[in-house]
């Protein structure tokens, strides 16, 4: 019998307790022993909830309990979570977390501490919700050099972009609806500004490179500037708009970015709708591989936490090689990446020739019902060339990157 504790009895934490109870027999069979949730840390009480009798309000009750071998951190936030996780690791307990903000900020130190104390620090649920992308990177694609990660990493914004595309609704209306349905938080900035996706692409890049990639150095754009007019152009081109995280991992640096992109409807990522996530990997031997699933939600995320609990119970000792070290992997300065761009330009088409000459634009576009402006798709350009052109040409209303 293994005894564990859960810190934070919110959506994910209560889901973990539920899965370990509901699928207890299956879990016991896979672990070779039963897993019992012995204590649940939360500031609140939950009268009437089956977990009420497990509730403790003081972290010391978990840290000081020698029977507890694994602790799930599902509180969220950075500072207090990091403090509590540190105490658990120092007390010789393995820690499993769904907290991407903590992992992106302090993962290097926590991984190091876990190695030092010969325990596990696992965080499958921090990226891609129920998609087992981290375990795949750690244990499946082991004979391959992963060259590129490219994916839809945030369910909230994908839900919003799908709705905007399908219903022609504007950003504010869709955001309100997403908040009402619980897909977006009251303060949605972490999702809509791209920071959540940025932390996730930083975590994946750290795993692939084996070195710490600082999310704060990754160029990040959200979806707050996407309008129904952009959707109209996307439809006219047979494309969809998706918020993606991209990371090209080289030997000595990564090129990484989070931004909305225009996808051809035939592209596998264009078919990823609503709150689903998908992650494309390109590697030297396997070629392209894609993992698709629910990127958020109580049970999918809790299932990922539970699979980490099973791993920590089954293999409690630190692995030989840390997932990543605290040596920093430089993020390349943003600007040299080459790609095509879609741009909206105000006025009639008199500017089309000038811009065409400057940007190697191949197409001039009109979207039905949109007057007083036109769209262009450029040839392949460096990011910095496009940025300079936008600065110099006030007629350019907005720019969205093309995904191929």
Which residues, 6+ apart, have CB-to-CB distance to 196 below 8 Å? 100, 153, 154, 156, 190
Structure tokens given for 173: 């209306």
In the complex, least distance from residue 311 CB atom to its own copies, rounded to whole angstroms: 8
Q: What mask, x for binding its own copies by CB under 8 A, covers residues 309 to 328?
A: xxx--------xx-------
Using CB under 8 A as the binding rule, whether residue 339 contacts its own copies is answered as no
Using CB under 8 A as the binding rule, whether residue 271 contacts its own copies is answered as yes
User: CA-CA distance, 263 to 187, in Å (whole number)?
Assistant: 28
Q: What mask, x for binding its own copies by CB under 8 A, covers residues 276 to 305?
A: -------xxxxxxxxxxxx--x-xx-xxx-
CB nearer to its own copies: give 141 or 370. Answer: 141
Q: Looking at 1, 10, 26, 167, which residue binds its own copies (CB under 8 A)?
A: 26
- Identify whether 217 is a catalytic site residue: no
In the complex, least distance from residue 403 CB atom to its own copies, rounded to whole angstroms: 15
Using CB under 8 A as the binding rule, whether residue 147 contacts its own copies is answered as no
User: CA-CA distance, 107 to 100, in Å (whole number)?
Assistant: 9
Q: Looking at 29, 45, 90, 326, which residue binds its own copies (CB under 8 A)?
A: 29
How far lies 188's CA from each of 34, 196, 273, in Å? Answer: 39, 10, 19
First to last CA, the chain: 52
Structure tokens given for 175: 């955001």
Structure tokens given for 372: 């007083």
User: CA-CA distance, 202 to 331, in Å (whole number)?
Assistant: 10
- Which strands, in side-by-side order, build the sheet including 68-73? 55-56, 35-41, 2-7, 68-73, 94-97, 121-122
Residues numbered 72-131 forming contacts with its own copies, rule: CB under 8 A: 130-131
CB nearer to its own copies: give 105 or 309. Answer: 309
User: CA-CA distance, 148 to 109, in Å (whole number)?
Assistant: 25
Using CB under 8 A as the binding rule, whether residue 145 contacts its own copies is answered as yes
CB nearer to its own copies: give 268 or 362. Answer: 268
CB nearer to its own copies: give 86 or 325. Answer: 325
Place of tokens 């409690």: 316
Closest CA to 378 of 353, 401, 360: 360
Q: Which of 39, 100, 200, 217 is catalytic?
A: 200
Binding site for its own copies (CB under 8 A): 19-20, 22-23, 26-27, 29-30, 32, 130-132, 135-136, 139-145, 266, 268, 271, 283-294, 297, 299-300, 302-304, 306-307, 309-311, 320-321
Active centre residues (catalytic): 200
């Amino acid at each position: 019998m293994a005894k564990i504790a859960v810190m934070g009895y919110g959506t994910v934490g209560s889901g973990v307790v539920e899965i370990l109870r509901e699928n207890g027999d299956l879990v016991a069979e896979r672990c070779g022993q039963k897993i019992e949730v012995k204590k649940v840390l939360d500031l609140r009480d939950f009268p009437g909830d089956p977990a009420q009798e497990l509730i403790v309000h003081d972290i010391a009750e978990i840290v000081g309990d020698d029977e507890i071998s694994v602790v799930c951190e599902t509180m969220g936030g950075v500072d207090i979570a990091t403090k509590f996780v540190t105490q658990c690791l120092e007390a010789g307990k393995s820690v499993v977390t769904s907290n991407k903000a903590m992992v992106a900020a302090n993962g290097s130190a926590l991984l190091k501490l876990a190695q030092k104390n010969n325990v596990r620090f696992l965080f499958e649920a921090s990226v891609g919700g129920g998609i087992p992308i981290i375990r795949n990177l750690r244990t499946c694609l082991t004979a391959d050099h992963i060259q590129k990660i490219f994916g839809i990493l945030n369910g909230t914004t994908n839900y919003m972009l799908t709705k905007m595309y399908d219903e022609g609704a504007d950003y504010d209306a869709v955001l309100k609806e997403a908040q009402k349905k619980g897909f977006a938080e009251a303060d949605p900035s972490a999702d809509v500004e791209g920071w959540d996706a940025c932390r996730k692409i930083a975590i994946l890049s750290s795993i692939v490179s084996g070195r710490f990639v600082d999310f704060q150095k990754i160029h990040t754009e959200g979806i707050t500037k996407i309008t129904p007019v952009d959707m109209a152009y996307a439809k006219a081109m047979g494309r969809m708009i998706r918020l993606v995280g991209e990371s090209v991992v080289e030997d000595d640096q990564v090129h990484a970015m989070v931004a909305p992109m225009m996808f051809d409807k035939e592209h596998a990522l264009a078919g990823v709708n609503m709150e689903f996530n998908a992650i494309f990997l390109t590697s030297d031997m396997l070629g392209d591989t894609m993992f698709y699933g629910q990127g958020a939600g109580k049970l999918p995320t809790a299932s990922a936490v539970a699979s980490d609990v099973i791993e920590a119970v089954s293999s409690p000792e630190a692995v030989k090689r840390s997932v990543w070290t605290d040596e920093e992997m430089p993020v390349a300065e943003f600007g040299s990446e080459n790609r095509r761009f879609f741009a909206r330009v105000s006025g009639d088409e008199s500017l089309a020739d000038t811009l065409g000459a400057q940007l190697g634009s191949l197409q001039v576009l009109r979207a039905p019902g949109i007057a007083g402006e036109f769209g262009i798709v450029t040839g392949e350009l460096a990011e910095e060339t496009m940025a300079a052109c936008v600065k110099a040409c006030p007629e350019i209303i907005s720019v969205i990157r093309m995904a191929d």
